[in-house]
Amino acid sequence: MWFFTEEERELKKVCSDFAQKELAPYAEEFDQKEDFNLQAFKRMGELGVLGITADPEYGGAGLGATASTIVMEEFGKACASSTLSYLAHSILCVNNIQNNASAEQKEKYLPKLITGEHIGCMGMSEPEYGSDAVGIQTKARKNGDHYLINGTKMWITNAQYSDIAYIYTRTGEERKNLSTFIVEKGTEGFSVGKPIHKMGMRASPTGELVFENAKVPMGNRVGEEGDSIYHMMKNLEIERITIAGISLGIAQACVDQCLKYSNERRQFGKSIGNYQLIQKMLAEMATETEMMRAFLYNVAKEYDQGKKGPVQAAMVKLALPKMATKIALDAIQLHGGYGYSREFPLERMMRDNKLNEIGAGTNEVMIMIIAKNLLSQQLD
């Protein structure tokens, strides 16, 4: 984008090189095995992006939504699954601790999360509470110098590999009385449930977090009791912007694959790129991808400047994954039988992107947020 800083341009190049070397060659293998590319994840720590938004004081890069989205796009082109795990670690766990935790908590947890020595996750969704995140029922109760936490978190990215879990709980009867805790692996009463097998993002581990009188020290509460709903909603904004970056990466990867294939594949004596119907598909896919890029980075940049908030985040989260799914389906169609087979990466890209229409708030929830804002403006 024309407004990228020199630092952001360099970040884009470095992440692109890393993704093509460390992620792309292994994406299909890890997807088929439903396995996690742990080695590449650890090397992201060496690359310096696991704490992309964290303070340099703790080893972070001190950057914002624009830089985070650049990483998501470049990694997403190569392996969306690995990128989703990266997002869960860097945005859902590290960014939350950076913005909401005490100085002592940051000093204790951020350095190892940023180097990749530790892996993080965030627990919000529950078996009965997904879109209605504020309705969660996992409860934390004071018991002397600690809290006892009971409940189950569902659909948790990185669950099986995490050393640190950033957990939302209920600490009062009022609907909005939510509190947050940092829960360490090995905590008494805390365990990881069964792995969840998925249609896409198969190389990103997903599972349950189970709390059965989990004994969490008082000092692991983040902030005061009952003040976490603001933390939750604020972090959802940057999550929605950055997960749209994964969809942009998928869309661009589909375009790149289609251009290559259109020049190589021959039918009726010439490359298929010579046929107008193929040209129409290519032109529309490329144009849609550029529209996605301009919209997303404009919102990310203005978010960093404090000019954009939850509605614009919902808009990019609604628009980009839907467009990327369309582009992926068009790319499969252009490839014909090869697109439908595992010989080419397009079917994996389509499967992976579908998650982005569900996670971080479904399309339907994004529509509710946007429409409610529009209608309230009309009343004003």
What type of residue sits at position 152? T
pLDDT tens digits for range 280-312: 999 999 999 999 999 999 999 999 999 988 999
What mean pLDDT comes out for the span 68-87?
98
What pLDDT, in 10s, does the model give residues 249-273?
999 999 999 999 999 999 999 999 9
State mean pLDDT over 164-172: 96
Q: How many residues does the chain have?
A: 380
Determine the Cα–Cα distance for residues 240 and 246; give it in Å rounded to an integer. 10
What pLDDT is recorded for position 380? 56
The set of catalytic residues is 239
Q: Which domains does the chain have, with CATH numbers?
A: 6-118 (1.10.540.10), 122-226 (2.40.110.10), 229-373 (1.20.140.10)
For residue 366, give the nearest of 199, 200, 250, 247 by alpha carbon: 247
Which pLDDT score is estimated for 224? 95
In the chain, what percentage of residues exceed pLDDT 70?
99
Helix (H/G/I), strand (E/B), else coil: 94: helix
Residue that has been written with the tokens 């198969």 in this structure: 202
DSSP string of 205-271, one letter each residue: -EEEEEEEEEEEEGGGEESSTT-HHHHHHHHHHHHHHHHHHHHHHHHHHHHHHHHHHHHH-EETTEE
Q: Which of 96, 131, 128, 123 is nearest to 110 (CA)?
A: 96
Q: How far apart (Å, rounded) are the C-alpha atoms in residues 251 and 325?
A: 8
H-only helix segments in the chain? 6-18, 27-33, 38-47, 65-78, 80-87, 95-100, 103-115, 228-264, 276-304, 310-335, 337-340, 346-356, 363-379
Instruction: Give the β-pairing of 178-184 and 139-143.
Output: unpaired
CB 198 within 8 A of CB 206: yes
Three-state secondary-structure class, residue 121: strand
Q: What is the pLDDT of residue 288?
A: 98
The predicted model scores a pTM of 0.97
Q: Which two tokens stand for residue 366?
A: 């994004």
Residue-wise pLDDT tens digits, 204-249: 999 999 999 999 999 999 999 999 999 999 999 999 999 999 999 9
- 23 burial (CB, 10 Å; 0-12 / 13-18 / 19+) is buried
Other Cβ atoms less than 10 A from the Cβ of 10: the count is 11
